[in-house]
Chains A and B, each alone.
Chain A
């Protein structure tokens, strides 16, 4: 029982997070309060939403390097809509951002599906194109807090039962993704395509189409995050969330989602993101320079991938006794 629990990646990650929090608590006990946890969770919400989208893509043996650029472009368009038409209802703006994000994801998905271009090349290209488009749209100008309407900025901070809407939204997305991944044909198809594309074809799954939907999903979530990011930090410019695509992938890797596809879970992605979130929020508290964050998350990624690789290796089942002897 104990051994089985220890082999479970998610439980290992929970243990790691608890150990991390305990370590922080040794130097700064006040970090370990419900209010502080709620703050850390809220601060990590956007990363969680993005990691969920990236998870779907990575499960199908693809990768989406354009998520942060997609976020920045969708966020910028949301902010521009808001400044141009301050009267527009916020839900409409959110839906527009999501639709635009989804559209950008569709571009990635179409290139991967219809033209068979390797995903890393596609998203490397669209990453620069999407960021460039922001510049073309704005001429490099910023949209600052005073240009945005109050309702636009207030929504993520708005409290609902004492918890900010931002946290609620990420919880909602986690719940939705739980349903999609576990209870819908599409979710199972993500696993099937990544686990064994050839077998997936024989079971009647269109591999390209499944990947296309994974990109649509990651794009839509990036669009949602675009609005959340811009309204939360109350500023939009070309370089928002620059380099964040790697944080998203890092969260997935730490969460035990195998870059080779087919292995991973919603809980893993959430915990991976939270692990990074705890580190980011704890460093200033325990008086370590925030400049150390990058090196620490790098080390964590390497350790996580080494641990996960060991766990994955054991999974092979011996079918032929003879093969084992060799």
Chain B
């Protein structure tokens, strides 16, 4: 053996040291981007660094991020859920209908979460029970759920939510920290622990990397996936409560197109769209980036649709740039 360091005894446990891995990780790249945007925004507008303005800015992303956490798990497991925005619409419609019957806040919350769970169950049963591809099933349920709320509402709107209900979308827990932002932080921790520190989380990665191998290693693939769709439904129900409470009204077009924004957030956060890898801290950073970009552009009077171009470019370039970078390095090395 001439190449002594390649003998079996010397194969390193990890290819790089811990420090190098962290430095080169997707999350640190996102952190740099986030800091750059933060600095850019504070230089571009004198109003950016005001705590109350920043607090307002969090409403841009908290509701979407709640769903993004659950969506990240779904995508890591190799599936996708495109029906989340429609679940928001259906849950909101159900709550609006209940309000017309004089239902009070605690029951409204239960209804919102309940509808989310039921929708998640429908998705989960179709995908794990019948073994159908999730992308098509959720395109179908996306039409179905929002379609139901169109049938109920037509071109009308539900209003008249009780005052106590407004707290979820407009209330503050302490100083500038809104209920939604607090919830966002809590959920980030819960999902972070769930994905990175529990058996369930490892099972999600295992399924995403090799479903068959996971099955043979004793992972209950169908059950784990079912739970993931249930969670996504529940999070969509929760987001629906917050959004409905913040807007104070329900139209069938509520949260239209959010499914794509949520998926963008997850992919931007470094989750592999093909499944198998990704982290919750990455998704948190992606949420902050998207929120700050939207808010910063808003302060500069840039129209919303131009921001969406920026988000689209960001989505493609954050994936394309590392690939191009690697290729360029390889070419230089030769």
> Taking the complex as formed, is A115 at the interface, i.e. its CB lies under 8 A from any CB of chain B?
yes
- Report the bound CA distance from A124 to B151 in whole Å: 28
Give the secondary structure class of A's interface: helix
The answer to whether A302 touches B126 (Cβ under 8 A) is yes
B interface footprint on A112-129 (CB within 8 Å = 1, 0 otherwise)? 000111101110111111
The answer to whether B147 touches A305 (Cβ under 8 A) is no
Q: Which residues of A contact B264 (CB under 8 A)?
A: 124-125
Least distance between B310 CB and chain A CB atoms (Å): 8
> Taking the complex as formed, is A140 at the interface, i.e. its CB lies under 8 A from any CB of chain B?
yes
> Taking the complex as formed, is A153 at the interface, i.e. its CB lies under 8 A from any CB of chain B?
no
The answer to whether A121 touches B140 (Cβ under 8 A) is no
> Taking the complex as formed, is A289 at the interface, i.e. its CB lies under 8 A from any CB of chain B?
yes
Specify which of A126, A238, A260, A289 is in contact with B305 (CB 8 Å cutoff): A238
Contacts A132-B306, A301-B139, A309-B130 known; A115 to B154 CB distance under 8 Å? no
> Taking the complex as formed, is A296 at the interface, i.e. its CB lies under 8 A from any CB of chain B?
yes
Specify which of B137, B148, B306, B311 is in contact with A295 (CB 8 Å cutoff): B148
The answer to whether B136 touches A294 (Cβ under 8 A) is no
The answer to whether A289 touches B260 (Cβ under 8 A) is no
- Report the bound CA distance from A306 to B155 in whole Å: 32
- Report the bound CA distance from A298 to B89 in whole Å: 15
Least distance between B92 CB and chain A CB atoms (Å): 16
Specify which of B144, B267, B323 is in contact with A115 (CB 8 Å cutoff): B323
Specify which of B135, B146, B313, B324 is in contact with A259 (CB 8 Å cutoff): B135
Say which one of B20-28, B103-111, B314-322 lies at the interface with A: B314-322
The answer to whether B139 touches A292 (Cβ under 8 A) is no
> Taking the complex as formed, is B15 at the interface, i.e. its CB lies under 8 A from any CB of chain A?
no
The answer to whether B273 touches A295 (Cβ under 8 A) is no
- Report the bound CA distance from A249 to B149 in whole Å: 22
- Report the bound CA distance from A238 to B308 in whole Å: 13
> Taking the complex as formed, is B43 at the interface, i.e. its CB lies under 8 A from any CB of chain A?
no
Specify which of A117, A122, A132, A305 is in contact with B136 (CB 8 Å cutoff): A305
Least distance between B316 CB and chain A CB atoms (Å): 4
Least distance between A239 CB and chain B CB atoms (Å): 10
- Report the bound CA distance from A253 to B309 in whole Å: 29
The answer to whether A124 touches B313 (Cβ under 8 A) is no
The answer to whether A111 touches B320 (Cβ under 8 A) is yes
The answer to whether A121 touches B316 (Cβ under 8 A) is yes
Specify which of A249, A259, A298 is in contact with B144 (CB 8 Å cutoff): A298
The answer to whether A126 touches B316 (Cβ under 8 A) is yes
> Taking the complex as formed, is A131 at the interface, i.e. its CB lies under 8 A from any CB of chain B?
yes
- Report the bound CA distance from A243 to B260 in whole Å: 11
> Taking the complex as formed, is A202 at the interface, i.e. its CB lies under 8 A from any CB of chain B?
no
The answer to whether A118 touches B273 (Cβ under 8 A) is yes
> Taking the complex as formed, is B39 at the interface, i.e. its CB lies under 8 A from any CB of chain A?
no
Least distance between B143 CB and chain A CB atoms (Å): 3
Q: Which residues of A contact B316 (CB under 8 A)?
A: 111, 117, 121-122, 125-126, 129
Interface residue total, chain A, C-beta cutoff 8 A = 46
The answer to whether B273 touches A297 (Cβ under 8 A) is no
- Report the bound CA distance from A131 to B311 in whole Å: 12
> Taking the complex as formed, is B297 at the interface, i.e. its CB lies under 8 A from any CB of chain A?
no
Within 8 A of A (CB), among B237-277: 252, 256-257, 260, 263-264, 267, 273-274
Least distance between B85 CB and chain A CB atoms (Å): 11
B interface footprint on A90-131 (CB within 8 Å = 1, 0 otherwise)? 000000000000000000000100011110111011111101
B interface footprint on A250-265 (CB within 8 Å = 1, 0 otherwise)? 1001000001100000
- Report the bound CA distance from A249 to B136 in whole Å: 9
Specify which of B131, B145, B313 is in contact with A309 (CB 8 Å cutoff): B131
The residue on A at minimum CB distance from B144 is: A298
User: Which of B133, B136, B153 has the most chain A CB atoms closer than 10 A to its own CB?
Assistant: B136
Q: Which residues of B contact A302 (CB under 8 A)?
A: 126, 137, 140-141, 144
Least distance between A136 CB and chain B CB atoms (Å): 7
> Taking the complex as formed, is B132 at the interface, i.e. its CB lies under 8 A from any CB of chain A?
yes
The answer to whether B133 touches A305 (Cβ under 8 A) is yes
- Report the bound CA distance from A127 to B142 in whole Å: 18
- Report the bound CA distance from A100 to B296 in whole Å: 33
Contacts A140-B303, A238-B305, A305-B137 known; A295 to B312 CB distance under 8 Å? no
Task: Give 5 new A-B contacts, CB below 8 A, not counting A125-B312, A125-B313, A291-B150.
Answer: A132-B305, A135-B305, A246-B139, A249-B139, A305-B136
A-B CB contact pairs (8 Å), 8 listed:
A122-B316, A127-B312, A129-B316, A250-B140, A298-B145, A305-B132, A306-B126, A306-B130
A residues engaging B (CB < 8 A)?
63, 65, 111, 115-118, 120-122, 124-129, 131-133, 135-136, 140, 238, 243, 246, 249-250, 253, 259-260, 289, 291-302, 305-306, 309
B residues engaging A (CB < 8 A)?
80, 126, 130-133, 135-137, 139-148, 150-151, 153-155, 252, 256-257, 260, 263-264, 267, 273-274, 303, 305-306, 308-309, 311-313, 315-316, 319-320, 323-324
